[in-house]
Amino acid sequence: MALLTPEDLENLSVQIEENDEIIKRVTGLNIKEICEELYETKLNSPKIGIIPITAGNGIISNFTSSLLFIVQYFGLEGFITEHPDITGYHEAVSQGADILLMADDHIFVAHNLRNEKIVSNHVATGVIYAEIASKFKEASSKDILVIGLGRVGYAGASHLVNKGFNVYACDPNKEFLRKAVDELGIKPYCSDDRKKFSMVLEATPNADTISEGMIEERCLVSTPGIPCGLPPQIGSKYRVDLVMEPLVIGVASMLYSVI
């Protein structure tokens, strides 16, 4: 998945409210309820320490403040450490953090210091966006299409297979596709089959990955991808319900999964 930019993090409150409204309408549950059902747990007021990390390309402007907003949106106590990196880690632990949130260029993790659970954002994001797609109330069948089989898409495809869905998938990287076929038993999607889907998990960093031949009218596209893989004209023509938000939904999944 693409790295976030400060522009991606603008208007998070509006984005989550709009997406939560769509999620509730198309699945019957809001994001908090989906996480509670998925992970069979409730957030029990953990204290969240958010640590800025300077490695690689450095700190993304607004990232830690966006994480603090998300933590508080879900009714939790959180704080951003004054110092970054190892000093920040020491600071967070010293201030009694139960869960740490931290990210570099390669991985974004939540680590529960009390029960030792740790999860990466790409797994938590793939699972929650797959779960949202799988709950589409107007789905015409158990068939679901996964576009992109990188870390996020593979995690989502694995989750859907475990839930008993008929998973079709495509990826221009033939090695990724072959791995998913061999390890998960998914079916390669071929446009020549003219098969259309009412549920789609789109997990790529590319625009315009969804074509008219892939989707049914009134389908659900669930995507954390930046930019959006659904061309606007196709979305309007087929009256697609689109769930797309760059950070909040994945972070909610992270927090619930390590409780």
pLDDT at 56: 72
pLDDT at 186: 97
Contact, 148 vs 209, CB < 8 A?
A: yes
Helix axes 63-73 and 248-257, enclosed angle (nearest 10): 60
pLDDT digits (tens, 9 = 90+) for 181-236: 999 999 999 888 889 999 999 999 999 999 999 999 999 999 997 899 999 999 99
Contact, 249 vs 124, CB < 8 A?
A: no
pLDDT at 12: 81
CA–CA distance, 201 with 210 (Å, rounded to integer): 10
| Over residues 242-256, mean pLDDT | 94
pLDDT band at 3 (very low <50, low <70, confident <90, very high): low
pLDDT band at 1 (very low <50, low <70, confident <90, very high): very low
Contact, 77 vs 222, CB < 8 A?
A: no
pLDDT digits (tens, 9 = 90+) for 96-155: 999 999 999 899 999 999 999 999 999 999 999 999 999 999 999 999 999 999 999 999
Q: Three-state DSSP class for 201?
A: strand
CA–CA distance, 143 with 136 (Å, rounded to integer): 12
CA–CA distance, 250 with 93 (Å, rounded to integer): 24
CA–CA distance, 209 with 148 (Å, rounded to integer): 9
| Over residues 20-46, mean pLDDT | 96
pLDDT digits (tens, 9 = 90+) for 147-181: 999 999 999 999 999 999 999 999 999 999 999 99
Query: Measured on CA atoms in the order 156, 159, 165, 169, is the torsion positive or negative?
Result: positive
Distance from CA of residue 204 to its chain's centroid? 11
Tell whether the model's pLDDT for residue 5 goes beyond 60. no
Query: Measured on CA atoms in the order 236, 240, 243, 246, is the torsion positive or negative?
Result: negative
* CA separation, residue 240 to residues 12, 42, 212 (Å): 22, 31, 11
Q: Three-state DSSP class for 93?
A: helix
CA–CA distance, 200 with 181 (Å, rounded to integer): 18
pLDDT band at 8 (very low <50, low <70, confident <90, very high): low
| Over residues 23-29, mean pLDDT | 98
Structure tokens at 222: 């669930």
Q: Three-state DSSP class for 65?
A: helix
Averaged pLDDT score across all residues of the chain:
93
Residues in the chain: 259
| Over residues 11-31, mean pLDDT | 92
CA–CA distance, 160 with 186 (Å, rounded to integer): 10
| Per-residue buried b or exposed e for 124-138, using 16+ beta carbons within 10 Å of the residue's own CB | bbbbbbbbbbbbbee
pLDDT at 246: 80
pLDDT at 108: 95
